């Protein structure tokens, strides 16, 4: 950005037969359809039209796809006049990102959130859910589409370890969670959805 700051919007592209569509968002819930999407070989261009303070803001992107990266330029009138910036997009591969799921135990349900970073096969991150606040995950691994990690919590002075393992299917993880529920081990189905 002109002030030196960086923003990290998300671009989702979807192909159905010969039709390509997509959305752009700055945060969950702010998805805006992209328009005028053109792909020629490894070059693509599209535009995003948003409204800000009653004014239409048009941002036009063009770039070249190389492996898992698109790099190019964008032109936007967000400041009132057209300005040109460099942009670079990286395909989200693997388990990196924010994942959410609902779990129910003893008649109550709570939402859990997992924020993951990936470096090769090593996965690190923060888990939050239930009454325990946020905690670091342990022994996180991602290999050949499969993820596993542990969450160690202190519940009423007793240390418990929960194990999660599953397979990545695009923006979903399907697997199992092994939990220690009031001293009683349980294995439940686990389905997490990428939320960013």
- Domains annotated for the chain, with CATH where assigned, are 10-90 (no CATH), 97-194 (2.40.128)
Mean pLDDT of 71-99: 86
CB 37 within 8 A of CB 18: no
Residues with Cβ within 8 Å of 6's Cβ and at least 6 positions away in sequence, in order, are none
151: pLDDT confidence band, cut at 50, 70 and 90? very high
The pLDDT value recorded for residue 163 is 94
Q: Which residue has the higher pLDDT, 186 or 104?
A: 186
The pLDDT value recorded for residue 75 is 93
Residues with Cβ within 8 Å of 166's Cβ and at least 6 positions away in sequence, in order, are 146, 147, 148, 173, 174, 175, 176, 190, 192
3: pLDDT confidence band, cut at 50, 70 and 90? low
6-10, 154-158, 192-196 — most confident range: 192-196
**What would the two tokens of residue 142 be?**
């991602």
Of 164, 163, 168, the closest CA to residue 94 belongs to 168
| pTM summary value | 0.57
The pLDDT value recorded for residue 123 is 93
132: pLDDT strictly greater than 70:
no
């Amino acid at each position: 950005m002109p002030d030196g700051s960086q923003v990290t919007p998300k671009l989702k592209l979807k192909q159905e037969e010969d039709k390509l569509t997509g959305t752009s968002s700055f945060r969950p819930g702010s998805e805006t359809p992209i328009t005028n999407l053109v792909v020629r070989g490894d070059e693509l261009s599209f535009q995003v039209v948003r409204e800000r303070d009653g004014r239409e803001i048009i941002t036009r992107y063009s770039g070249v796809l190389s492996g898992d990266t698109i790099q190019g330029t964008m032109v936007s009138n967000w400041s009132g006049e057209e300005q040109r910036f460099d942009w670079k997009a990286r395909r989200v591969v693997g388990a990196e990102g924010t994942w959410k799921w609902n779990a129910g135990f003893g008649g109550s349900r709570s939402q859990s959130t997992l924020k993951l970073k990936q470096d090769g096969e090593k996965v690190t991150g923060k888990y939050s859910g239930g009454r325990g606040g946020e905690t670091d995950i342990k022994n996180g691994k991602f290999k050949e589409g499969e993820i596993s990690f542990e969450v160690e919590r202190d519940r009423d002075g007793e240390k418990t370890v929960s194990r999660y393992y599953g397979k990545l299917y695009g923006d979903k993880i399907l697997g199992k969670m092994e939990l220690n529920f009031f001293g009683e081990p349980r294995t439940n189905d686990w389905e997490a959805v990428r939320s960013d």
